[in-house]
Structure 1
Amino acid sequence: MLTKLLFPPQWIPTQPYLSLPSLFAFLKANYCDVEQMDINVSFYDDLLSKQGLSAFYEKVYSKFQDLESQKELSPHLQKQYTALSSSVLFGEYIIDETDNAKKILRDKKGFYNVKELFRAFKILELGLKLVSSAYYPTNLTFHSYDMRYSCRSSKAILASINDREENLFIDYFEKETVPKILENRPDLIGISIINTSQLIPGLTLASLIKRADENIHINIGGSVFTRLINEISKNNELFSIFDSVIVHEGETALLNLTKHLSNGLDIEDIPNLIYKKGSGIRINKLSSEGEDINSLPSPCFDGLPFSLYFSPELILPVLSSRGCYWKRCTFCDHSYGYSGNYRPRNVDLLYNDIKTLKDRYKTSFFTFQDEGVSPRLISALSDKIIENNLDISWLADSRFDPVFSEEFGNRIADAGCKMLYFGLESANNRILSCMDKGIKKDNVLNICRYCADAGIWTHLFLIFGFPTETRHEARETVDFILHNNKIIRSMSFGSFQLTKHSKVYENPPLFDVKTIIRNENIDLSLWYDYETTRGMSKKETDELIQEFYNELSLQYRDFSIWSNLDREHLFLYISHYKGSKDERGLSELIDRIQKEQIKKYTTTDTRNNGIYPVLNEGVFIRTFNFNLAQIIHTMLAGDSLENRLQKDRTNVLFDTNNNRVFTITDFAKDVLDRSSGELDISEIIEVIREKYQMPYTEAESKCKSFLKGLFEKNIVYY
């Protein structure tokens, strides 16, 4: 009996996710015939290719031509026109550049040239915009998949999986994915859904597999459905897409399901299994005990397409424990997906995991996926790494634990620790107490200092707008960060989210939450809107976050680098440049970029011949039948598109580097069409003089004045 394990989009494709390799290893260790497929990384690689984008461009161009031929556009069509025309504007350029952009992300030299890396990011992001516009109003990025349909509603999800016009996964899965899945005729398919962004893609895939072969048993697993046990157990329609769901930890349940199906046995005695039986849905016994973590094999990544991940090094995830050893933070529900108590892995087994993975897959880069690594366990592991001279680099999530000393920081740094992620959340003592963080600000500074001295980069998580938090209390957090920017190296931050199963959700009166807003149509929600009796409003919280963002960009010279790198990429940058002991951090790269941006000709004095104007890369010009710039400016201003737009032939200049759009005259377009580096200014002036039949001095004055303005806007260079 063949089992295939699938990891569907949408998830960031920088490294393998740990769920499949853990299950795959367990089934293999128990002599099961099993394969694993990272559909997510294959999906991004296929889409972001010359062949892939060309197909989407044809679809985009066809829809664009339909709108271009209209006499007028309704407000809805104006939005679609914006998406389509933008893609048409830069589409051919992106198609030609996307394969090279992927190479830069995977190249051990090009990746560490930050200017080239960010150029590659921009190209790939525009590639995803092109793909999205073909299925407007759907929007796909490296971090999200948003549709008109809500992933918080089962009715919306069921509608989305049949909407071929807006669900971009239907066509892709039918052509590229389902045929590969059906190879060798699998009997059981397990789909891992660990984030809500995977719900529509993952269930679309399940539906297509079920249509292709209804005899395949499709099982869904992962933390999302574990949090929704009550909701899915009442939803017969969802079980028309799949056959069963495994909740909580999945190794034993999946093995039992495999054996039972193979032998034709009833599955009613398999713990943690939910499935449709007759006209109802059955919930088997939910086990209160998790897996024995010391009986589990090392994760196995065999069969995964390492060359496709969008990173220059293979970065493998490992787990030192299950559950959270603190498990008291009132805003958090992360540990809900684990059964039982906190269970650390034996240090010898953990060391063997890392050593085995390093040797087998020829990599030295590891990320701990724990909720928070235990200082005791990581200290013991560091001793073994140092003792055996194991050359690795790693990062982990940690806590501001009082046992973290200067000696501890030096030891884990010697063992290869490059980055630690800490959940500070707030620097206000009252809010910290409400969150039950169990940390003190003085200790926070000491630990950050120990890390900085040891060469470990510290990244802090912050939450603004916790129930009852005032602006003054939130500013205390902002000021704490800004005043200690020498030892606090980077951070992520956002507004408080009321998550299902958190202590705030379970006990709202304790946190002055007077109302949790529930909607019966939003039956699969993992978070809720709410109202409090006091504290900042959502608007006030958002304003403070924007204020903080602006201040960070001024205070941290390397902000533009670390704020735009995903965790794995920042980890590689820190490991490569070893800049964390340098007070300037990554700011030396900023200096390098600024030097490279000094043009060969930095003067705007264009009196002499032999100076060739060139449009900057990422600047595009095109003539449209409708005023694209007007639509975009209206939307950016936050104004609604209420009126129908009449046909109005317009030349548009689109600067994708700075997200700027300009309307330009025919004269300006003629000048820029010739600013390709092939003609010098005097030759351009002569062409313009002849076309517009104007005196040479007038043509010269207009051309130079126009180009000077664009030079100052960084749209052209000489």
Structure 2
Amino acid sequence: MSSSFIKIDTKNAKPKSGRKLKTMLLFPPEWVPTAPYLALPSLTAVLRENGHEVIQRDINIEMYELFFSDMFLIWVNARMAQQLRELKGKEAQGELTEKEIDQKECLEEVLSFDVMELASSAEEAKRINRSEDFYDASKLEWALNVFRDVMRYISVAYYPASLVYYPMESNLGYRPGVSSEVYACLNDPQVNVYRDVCQQLVLPSIAKERPDVVGISIGTKMQLIAGLTFGKLIKEAYPDIHITVGGNVITRLQEDLAKQEPFFTEIFDSAIMYEGEHALLWLLEALVGDREWTAVPNLMYKEQGHVRINSEIYTEKTTSLPLPDFEGFPLDSYFVPTRILPYLATRGCYWGKCTFCDHGQGYFDQYRGKPAQDVVREVKALQEKFHADHFLFADESYPPALFKKVSQLLIEENVDIKWTTLIRFEETLQDPEIWDLAAKSGCKTLYYGMESANERVLELMDKHAKKSVIENNLKEAARVGIWNHVMAFYGFPGETKEEAEDTRQFLLDNKASIHSVELFYFVAYRHTPMVRNPEKFGITIHKQDEYDMPLDYYYTLNEPGGVSCLDAMQLCEEFYQNDFASWAVRINAREQIFLYISKYGTNKLPQIYATNHTPAEAKPDTVAGLITWPVAKADPEGGKDGEPGMARVVSHSAK
């Protein structure tokens, strides 16, 4: 696809009809239900600024609110009872398959449990998450276990799906990298829980509001099935509504989606790639005849039976965008006791060199940012307008110059907030005064993409970080009370087992200044420099025709002696079995730890580590953990060794 930048001439545009469209924006599951995601408020701000009526719905948090309610659990219980009756009927006829025998056993066990007791526990768990009891680690751990129990309970009703509260690892048994399976999943009422979510939460809202346009933001792979399910059911019920999809995953899959004509016929009418604020605005103008369809940048749509991708690409000017608009979001419904707002000062990554990373695929242009003065002004405005004192700076990697200037300005202007962000280890951040200012300005937790502690491997990655700098940054941050979360992975092509051991040993040697750890195995993401030039990195990429919507590929090393994909998996498993105990936390969502640091004012929090409590401590008046049946899990994506899609997790971290 050939692309070109365009500069939109709004002054000389043709006269507008003045017609405005009512738009409903949907954020589908699954995402962490502790804070809003920034996509919808950013889109809403531009549309409302231009006179369009917008209803924005965070269906993710609405789904969890629904799941953890007596109404839904009673409904699920009835669904399971009906399923069991049908299976017993087949059993009487001697017609049960092995899978159905397993399903019947799960249903019989779960239906013996008191659903009203579970529903009561779920209500108490929600109350704990939204009250000061949140800061009692034993009570919070109990509440999180209740949520996990509820998800296991609901999973049986959608057998063999596995629905998980946190981390986001729900599995419906269909591979999202295979379009035929994605489409089959959309039509499968047995496992596709999102069909019921849509029917109970989305369709009634559309019937009430009657929007002209529905926009669905699909930012992560975990949202793909839910987002497409919503689109399909809305299209079936309301064929005259224009449905558009967008988000990072849509951008990454643009070439594949263009080949999936049924998607444009039965699920959505258009797709917006890259940044969507003004592209969505101009799409609305095209829908009312005020703009030619070919003049809408970043747009993919169906025209005369063919999918067309407009060549023009528009990148947002960060300094001229309006303040994100959270009006209409359920800001007090998230599972935290205080409001947390996301804020983005930059687009893209200022470093932008890491050979394993494809985050920049969501932006056609690379790094752009706002001046520190604008950042602080906008944060103050959000604080005052939405009564929030906690902020997630959601940048790909916070630039060191901005880190220093924003810290200084927050202090000078007496902006009393608490904040967290992702950051890169930098030589320019070694001065102790920088860290003193950061802590004084309200910085509480930092997330670092270390990736490796071996300098040769870091050079191969084009990270160019020095081990001494990594140690310095961690020690200085820890000294001033900032919580350090370090992410790394095994198996970068060319890494030896000895070099992988350097990473493990570094983590162990620096326990005093590393408060939490995530260790992954390398994944060959589709749009990375490595996958585009595999021979340069000594790997062979294995593609299979059935995987026609891949986000990553299985790979093998061209030469023996390095850490293979399977080696890296084994090393990860050994790390978590042998070395991880001292880092195991009872509360592990990013926002939860952030609030604990904010509450207690220190990175010394022994009460949240699993090694510092006994199970008896984690039980208030009601008891979690009663559901212990063996729920059958759906086959993981990629199933067999050697198939693409088997390696799914890697450090999505600061560069």
TM-score past 0.5 threshold: yes
| Residue 227 of structure 2 is aligned to residue 202 of structure 1 | yes
Letter in 2 for 1:296: L
Letter in 2 for 1:214: P
| Residue 563 of structure 2 is aligned to residue 536 of structure 1 | yes
Please name the residue that 2:602 is paired with.
579
Q: Which runs of 5+ in 2 are unaligned?
A: 1-20, 636-655
Percent identity at matched positions? 36
Please name the residue that 2:645 is paired with.
none
Q: Aligned to 1:569, which of 570, 586, 592?
A: 592
Q: In the superposition, relative to structure 1, how do residues 416 and 527 fare at CA in structure 2: closer, same or farther (>3 Å)? A: same
Query: Is the 8 Å Cα contact of residues 236 and 281 (structure 1) preserved in structure 2?
Result: yes
> Which stretch has the larger CA shift, 224-233 or 238-247?
224-233
Q: Aligned to 2:160, which of 133, 137, 145?
A: 137
Query: Is the 8 Å Cα contact of residues 542 and 555 (structure 2) preserved in structure 1?
Result: yes
Please name the residue that 1:440 is paired with.
466
Deviation at 1:595, TM superposition (A): 10
C-alpha offsets along residues 48-79 of structure 1, whole Å, 9 cap, x if unaligned? Answer: 11111111012123323554673786432243
Q: Aligned to 1:353, which of 371, 378, 395?
A: 378
| Residue 341 of structure 2 is aligned to residue 316 of structure 1 | yes
Scaled by the length of structure 1, the TM-score of the pair is 0.80
| Residue 575 of structure 2 is aligned to residue 548 of structure 1 | yes
Please name the residue that 1:379 is paired with.
404
Deviation at 1:269, TM superposition (A): 1.2
Query: Is the 8 Å Cα contact of residues 607 and 613 (structure 2) preserved in structure 1?
Result: no
Q: Aligned to 1:48, which of 52, 63, 68?
A: 68
Return the alpha-carbon distance in structure 1 between the equivalents of residues 175 and 614 of structure 2: 43
Please name the residue that 2:650 is paired with.
none
Q: In the superposition, relative to structure 1, how do residues 598 and 19 fare at CA in structure 2: closer, same or farther (>3 Å)? A: closer
Please name the residue that 1:388 is paired with.
413
Q: In the superposition, relative to structure 1, how do residues 238 and 596 fare at CA in structure 2: closer, same or farther (>3 Å)? A: closer
Q: Aligned to 2:202, which of 174, 177, 182?
A: 177
Return the alpha-carbon distance in structure 2 between the equivalents of residues 375 and 82 of structure 1: 56
Please name the residue that 1:295 is paired with.
320
Question: What does residue range 215-254 of structure 1 map to in structure 2 within 5 Å?
Answer: 215-240=240-265, 241-254=267-280
Letter in 2 for 1:419: T
Query: Is the 8 Å Cα contact of residues 552 and 559 (structure 1) preserved in structure 2?
Result: no
Return the alpha-carbon distance in structure 2 between the equivalents of residues 334 and 590 of structure 1: 33
Greater RCO between the two (CA within 8 Å, min separation 6)? 2
| Residue 85 of structure 2 is aligned to residue 61 of structure 1 | no
| Residue 189 of structure 2 is aligned to residue 164 of structure 1 | yes
Return the alpha-carbon distance in structure 2 between the equivalents of residues 595 and 127 of structure 1: 19
> Which stretch has the larger CA shift, 173-182 or 357-366?
173-182
Query: Is the 8 Å Cα contact of residues 299 and 353 (structure 1) preserved in structure 2?
Result: no
Give the 3-state SS of the residue equivalent to 1:369 in structure 2.
strand
Please name the residue that 1:87 is paired with.
110
Q: In the superposition, relative to structure 1, how do residues 616 and 394 fare at CA in structure 2: closer, same or farther (>3 Å)? A: closer
| Residue 294 of structure 2 is aligned to residue 268 of structure 1 | yes
Letter in 2 for 1:200: I
| Residue 434 of structure 2 is aligned to residue 370 of structure 1 | no
Q: Aligned to 2:423, which of 383, 391, 398?
A: 398
Please name the residue that 1:104 is paired with.
128
Return the alpha-carbon distance in structure 1 between the equivalents of residues 404 and 281 of structure 2: 34
> Which stretch has the larger CA shift, 566-575 or 63-72?
63-72
Deviation at 1:84, TM superposition (A): 2.4
Give the 3-state SS of the residue equivalent to 1:463 in structure 2.
strand
Query: Is the 8 Å Cα contact of residues 350 and 381 (structure 1) preserved in structure 2?
Result: yes
> Which stretch has the larger CA shift, 222-231 or 137-146?
137-146
| Residue 445 of structure 2 is aligned to residue 419 of structure 1 | yes
Count of equivalent residues? 603
Query: Is the 8 Å Cα contact of residues 134 and 140 (structure 2) preserved in structure 1?
Result: yes
Return the alpha-carbon distance in structure 1 between the equivalents of residues 397 and 627 of structure 2: 47
Give the 3-state SS of the residue equivalent to 1:268 in structure 2.
helix
Please name the residue that 1:518 is paired with.
543
Q: Aligned to 2:625, which of 618, 625, 633?
A: 618
Return the alpha-carbon distance in structure 1 between the equivalents of residues 101 and 407 of structure 2: 59
Please name the residue that 2:481 is paired with.
455
Return the alpha-carbon distance in structure 2 between the equivalents of residues 188 and 521 of structure 1: 33
Deviation at 1:598, TM superposition (A): 11
Return the alpha-carbon distance in structure 2 between the equivalents of residues 336 and 512 of structure 1: 23
Give the 3-state SS of the residue equivalent to 1:225 in structure 2.
helix
Q: Aligned to 2:38, which of 7, 14, 18?
A: 18
Please name the residue that 2:11 is paired with.
none
Question: What does residue range 593-612 of structure 1 map to in structure 2 within 5 Å?
Answer: 593-594=613-614, 597=617
Q: In the superposition, relative to structure 1, how do residues 475 and 86 fare at CA in structure 2: closer, same or farther (>3 Å)? A: farther
Scaled by the length of structure 2, the TM-score of the pair is 0.87
Query: Is the 8 Å Cα contact of residues 461 and 493 (structure 1) preserved in structure 2?
Result: yes
C-alpha offsets along residues 343-374 of structure 1, whole Å, 9 cap, x if unaligned? Answer: 11122221122111111111111011111011
Letter in 1 for 2:500: A
Query: Is the 8 Å Cα contact of residues 91 and 130 (structure 1) preserved in structure 2?
Result: no
Letter in 2 for 1:522: Y
Please name the residue that 2:10 is paired with.
none
Return the alpha-carbon distance in structure 1 between the equivalents of residues 197 and 248 of structure 2: 26
- Report which of the two structures shows the higher radius of gyration computed on alpha carbons: 1
Please name the residue that 1:488 is paired with.
514
Give the 3-state SS of the residue equivalent to 1:299 in structure 2.
coil
